[in-house]
């Protein structure tokens, strides 16, 4: 057997092993990244559902005579800002997530003020359409919380996969970076209060 054949076989075996490792890493990272994108899509869908409900709620409240226009304007502006803040889940950064959080938090705050103001309008509180929207908002807030939790659950295995050594070497080569967790802003851990006690 020729002496150069043994080193060649060793190089080929090692090269094949590195190739298999790289392919395995890449395929798993792609799959986990898709899971993150899907989970983020569910978060956005939940927020979009809330935005749609808020639009319907605003239209219902607009019908009330002499309702505080300033309060309505704040909700409309906050809703507009929240819908304009979008994130590409494949390139999500902590700064983008913080901006998204702040926009959604501003909308939650404006919505809370609107719903508190409704207390002064007995006819509006008794409006069946308003009551139905209120119930749907409560349900949607719970859905948002669940979607955010599932997003964070999808982030963990992805981050573990791309950040642990030696995978972190390939992550840099293939362009996979760690993704930020969804951290709610201070005070946002509680859903918007939309349940009223009627007299």
pLDDT digits (tens, 9 = 90+) for 143-177: 999 999 999 999 999 999 999 999 999 998 998 99
Q: Do 167 and 84 touch, CB atoms closer than 8 A?
A: no
What gap in Å lies between CA 164 and CA 63, rounded to an integer? Answer: 57
What gap in Å lies between CA 162 and CA 29, rounded to an integer? Answer: 7
Fold of 15-174: de novo design (two linked rop proteins) (1.20.1440)
What gap in Å lies between CA 192 and CA 101, rounded to an integer? Answer: 14
DSSP state string for 104-153: HHHHHHHHHHHHHHGGG-HHHHT-HHHHHHHHHHHHHHHHHHHHHHHHHH
Residue 138: predicted pLDDT: 87
This prediction has a pTM of 0.76
Residue 186: predicted pLDDT: 52
* CA of residue 169 relative to chain centroid, distance: 28
Whether the predicted pLDDT of 133 surpasses 80: yes
In 3D space, the residue among 133, 176, 136, 173 whose CA is nearest the CA of residue 37 turns out to be: 176
Residue 32: predicted pLDDT: 95
What gap in Å lies between CA 96 and CA 89, rounded to an integer? Answer: 10
């Amino acid at each position: 057997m020729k002496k150069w054949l043994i080193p060649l076989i060793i190089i080929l075996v090692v090269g094949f092993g590195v190739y298999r490792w790289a392919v395995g890493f890449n395929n798993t990272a792609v799959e986990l990244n898709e899971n993150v994108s899907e989970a983020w899509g569910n978060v956005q869908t939940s927020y979009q559902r809330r935005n749609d409900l808020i639009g319907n709620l605003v239209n219902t409240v607009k019908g009330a005579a002499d309702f505080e226009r300033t309060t309505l304007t704040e909700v409309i502006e906050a809703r507009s800002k929240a819908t304009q803040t979008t994130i590409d889940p494949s390139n999500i950064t902590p700064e983008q997530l913080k901006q998204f959080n702040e926009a959604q938090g501003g909308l939650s705050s404006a919505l809370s003020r609107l719903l508190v103001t409704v207390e002064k309008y007995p006819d509006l509180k008794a409006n069946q359409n308003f009551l139905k929207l209120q119930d749907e908002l409560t349900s949607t807030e719970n859905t948002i919380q669940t979607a955010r939790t599932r997003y964070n659950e999808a982030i963990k295995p992805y981050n573990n996969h791309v950040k642990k050594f030696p995978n972190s070497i390939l992550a840099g080569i293939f362009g996979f970076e760690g993704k930020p967790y969804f951290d709610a802003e201070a005070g946002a851990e509680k859903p918007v209060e939309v349940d009223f006690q009627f007299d």
